[in-house]
Amino acid sequence: MCKNATDASKFVATQIVLQIVEKQKKGQTCVLGLATGSTPLTLYKELIRIHKEEKISFKNVVTFNLDEYYPISKSSPHSYYTYMHNNLFKHVDIPEANIHIPDGEIDKSHLQEYCRQYESLIESAGGIDIQILGIGRSGHIGFNEPGSSQHSLTRLVYLDKKTREDAADTFSGLENVPQFAITMGIDTILQARRIFLMAFSEGKAKIVAEACESNPTTECPATFL
């Protein structure tokens, strides 16, 4: 636990950069699982600062984002594609080919195959070294809403009412929030070698307590951590 959000973000950024540099020295790639939402924004700012001021290259970084709304166009200001490019990718030197974000534009008829491919891509990249997570009020990690199985993999999910309500302001109204999302599964997340769940503010206290104190249950997917 850290004193405040800035300290916590700096701590996680340092852990990420140490891993990137260590892998660089060995001529290896560093595979990061990335999250969206307001929580990791300070972490991304700190990574950008380290890249620019401390001249650390991110060329050996491969990324896999946790989730994306479905359907959503990449160019939508609300897509996680836009969020990630604006808040991180535009400002660092991760090669575009190394960036993976679930595709909110994929045709429904190809979705299952697409999700299987996403899993295969993670596997062929060598698995996730560090996974960043936030937590939703529903206890979701990624978009694994209550009811998600511990054995779930990347798939299409129906979003919880609480999750859609929380996104309503950003989308200028509940009716504009997509009903579905593509998300890595709980099992996909649990396979990461290290996981940092970041949660700040009083608003998250109740669900964090539940995540830490309850026995693993599909009612609160974060308990599987």
Please select the residue that binds ligand GLP; options are 8, 20, 43, 66, rule is CB under 6 A. 66
Helix and strand numbers (H, E) in the chain are 7, 8
Interacting span for ligand GLP (CB under 6 A) from 8-16, 35-43, 89-97, 205-213? 35-43
- H helix or E strand, kind and range, residue 21: helix 5-25
Q: Could you say whether residue 143 binds ligand GLP (CB under 6 A)?
A: yes
**Considering beta carbons, is residue 60 or 139 the nearer one to ligand GLP?**
139
Label residues 22-52 b or e (16+ Cβ within 10 Å = b): ebbeeeebbbbbbbbbebbebbbbbbbebbe
Q: Residue 209: which residues within 8 A CB-CB, separation 6 or more?
A: none
- The residue among 56, 58, 64, 50 whose CA lies nearest residue 29 is 58
The length of the chain, given as a count of residues: 225
Q: Could you say whether residue 35 binds ligand GLP (CB under 6 A)?
A: yes
Please, what is the minimum distance in Å from the beta carbon of residue 173 to ligand GLP? 17
**Considering beta carbons, is residue 60 or 157 the nearer one to ligand GLP?**
157
Nearest-angstrom CA–CA distance, 7 and 42: 10
Active site residue 165: no
Please, what is the minimum distance in Å from the beta carbon of residue 165 to ligand GLP? 11
Please, what is the minimum distance in Å from the beta carbon of residue 196 to ligand GLP? 12
Please select the residue that binds ligand GLP; options are 19, 30, 58, 67, rule is CB under 6 A. 67
Please, what is the minimum distance in Å from the beta carbon of residue 96 to ligand GLP? 22
Label residues 147-184 b or e (16+ Cβ within 10 Å = b): ebeeebbbbbbebbebbbebbeeebeeeeebbebbbbb
The residue annotated as part of the active site, out of 53, 145, 165, 175, is 145
Interacting span for ligand GLP (CB under 6 A) from 29-37, 150-158, 185-193, 212-220? 29-37
Q: Which structure tokens are listed for 130?
A: 């560090």
Compute how many residues bind ligand GLP; rule: CB under 6 A: 13
Q: Residue 126: which residues within 8 A CB-CB, separation 6 or more?
A: 29, 31
Q: Could you say whether residue 142 binds ligand GLP (CB under 6 A)?
A: yes
Please select the residue that binds ligand GLP; options are 37, 71, 139, 178, rule is CB under 6 A. 37
What is the DSSP-derived secondary structure letter of residue 80?
Answer: H
Interacting span for ligand GLP (CB under 6 A) from 32-40, 87-95, 106-114, 146-154? 32-40
Binding site for ligand GLP (CB under 6 A): 35-39, 66-67, 134-136, 142-143, 163
Q: Which residues are known to be catalytic?
A: 145
